[in-house]
């Protein structure tokens, strides 16, 4: 028999179950104090009763809550009650990046724009001493207007993947799937200590995938990766992006970008150059073709109705 959904955690009314993962079952919920919609994750079912494990979890969660940036899903509250343990996040509507892409490349300018947003999000986390260590399309939400949000920042050790790593005795125990995970840096796959540049490698893989519609073959091989060139996969990618992706995905951490700030700055510079080439055109929206046609129709409808009203008023005045 399925377990009955709880109705409330703290002062949050749980409205519907929206998913489950390493951080517990996730619910869309209503904050009865502030009157806003939030995402609540019932962490107690994953962390368990061990007081030392709970203490480590609370330390990580409170560190994650210090990260504040428009492109990071905010952790509003760490609910620590004798019989409850839950996390309250900003509720982010939209699709995850992997859902948005669906195996296809994104527009080049939009890929660069999302890359800038994500690099700046990582920069904010790193400035707080927080690493993500599980940057992947499934952990990124994108709104209809193209606004990216990085999810579960600073909590990778408590996700399903992080729990599996803690229980595995060595890198050899983690299985081929984990060692060949294309989003994980070479040092993570080798079982070596990661740092902030590991996150930048993962973002480089995501940028490559957004530009080409596929993950780099070398990154998934499990062998010594050679930084790939997006232009070797797609001729639609401007060559200026090759060096950025290559540097982000360098095998040695010393050869990568040394900060997310410098990564974002180079992407922003290239994006500005693309805008000049295109005559200052704004990056394309992520709206669908149907929505775009609907928007164009509504723009024509308003002036038409105004003209019709003016004609009617003139006719009445002349009577």
Helices (H), the chain: 44-47, 51-64, 97-101, 108-127, 160-167, 176-179, 186-189, 196-212, 240-248, 260-277, 289-318
Contact 141, 92 (CB under 8 A): yes
Domains 8-90 and 95-277 share a fold: no
pLDDT computed for residue 180 by the predictor? 75
Q: How far is CA 155 from CA 21, 130, 131, 185, in A?
A: 12, 9, 9, 17
pLDDT computed for residue 297 by the predictor? 46
Is 4 exposed, middle or buried (CB count within 10 Å of its CB: 0-12, 13-18, 19+)? exposed
* Active centre residues (catalytic): 134
pLDDT computed for residue 155 by the predictor? 97
- Tell how many helices (H) and how many strands (E) occur in the chain: 11, 9
- Provide φ and ψ at 54, rounded to 5°: -60, -40
Nearest-angstrom CA–CA distance, 108 and 99: 18
Nearest-angstrom CA–CA distance, 273 and 279: 10
pLDDT computed for residue 226 by the predictor? 72
Contact 206, 136 (CB under 8 A): yes
Closest CA to 41 of 95, 90, 89, 91: 89
CATH number of 95-277: 1.10.510.10
Nearest-angstrom CA–CA distance, 104 and 137: 13
pLDDT computed for residue 165 by the predictor? 57
How many other C-beta atoms are found inside a 10 Å radius of the C-beta of residue 197? 23
Please give the CATH architecture assigned to the domain spanning 8-90.
2-Layer Sandwich (3.30)
pLDDT computed for residue 307 by the predictor? 56
Q: Can you give the residue ranges of every domain in the chain?
A: 8-90, 95-277
Residues in the chain where the model's pLDDT stays below 70: 1-3, 160-179, 218-225, 280-319
pLDDT computed for residue 159 by the predictor? 83
Nearest-angstrom CA–CA distance, 314 and 319: 9
Nearest-angstrom CA–CA distance, 238 and 232: 11
pLDDT computed for residue 144 by the predictor? 85
- Our CA dihedral for 297, 298, 299, 302, rounded to 10 degrees, sits at 120
């Amino acid at each position: 028999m399925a377990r009955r959904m709880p109705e409330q955690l703290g002062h949050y009314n749980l409205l519907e179950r929206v998913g489950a993962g390493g951080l517990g079952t996730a619910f869309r919920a209503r904050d009865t104090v502030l009157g806003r919609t939030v995402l609540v994750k019932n962490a107690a079912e994953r962390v368990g009763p061990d007081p030392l494990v709970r203490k480590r979890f609370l330390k990580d969660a409170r560190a994650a809550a210090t990260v504040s940036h428009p492109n990071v899903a905010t952790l509003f509250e760490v609910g620590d009650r004798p019989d409850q343990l839950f996390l309250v996040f900003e509720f982010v509507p939209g699709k995850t990046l992997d859902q948005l892409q669906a195996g296809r490349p994104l527009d080049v300018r939009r890929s660069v724009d999302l890359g800038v947003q994500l690099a700046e999000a990582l920069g904010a986390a790193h400035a707080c001493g927080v690493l993500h260590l599980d940057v992947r399309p499934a952990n990124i939400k994108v709104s209809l207007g193209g606004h990216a949000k990085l999810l579960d920042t600073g909590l990778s050790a408590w996700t399903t993947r992080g729990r599996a790593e803690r229980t595995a005795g060595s890198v050899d125990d983690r299985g081929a799937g984990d060692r060949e995970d294309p989003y994980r840096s070479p040092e993570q796959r080798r079982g070596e200590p990661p740092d902030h540049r590991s996150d930048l490698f993962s973002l480089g893989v995501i940028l490559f995938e957004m530009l080409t519609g596929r993950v780099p073959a070398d990154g998934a091989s499990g062998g010594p990766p050679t930084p790939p060139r997006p232009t070797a996969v797609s001729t639609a990618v401007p060559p200026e992006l090759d060096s950025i992706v290559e540097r982000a995905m360098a095998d040695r951490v010393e050869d990568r970008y040394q900060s997310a700030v410098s990564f974002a700055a180079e992407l922003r510079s290239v994006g500005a150059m693309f805008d000049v080439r295109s005559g200052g055109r704004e990056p394309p929206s992520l709206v669908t073709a149907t929505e775009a046609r609907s928007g164009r129709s509504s723009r024509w409808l308003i002036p038409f109705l105004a003209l019709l009203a003016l004609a009617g008023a003139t006719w009445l005045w002349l009577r």
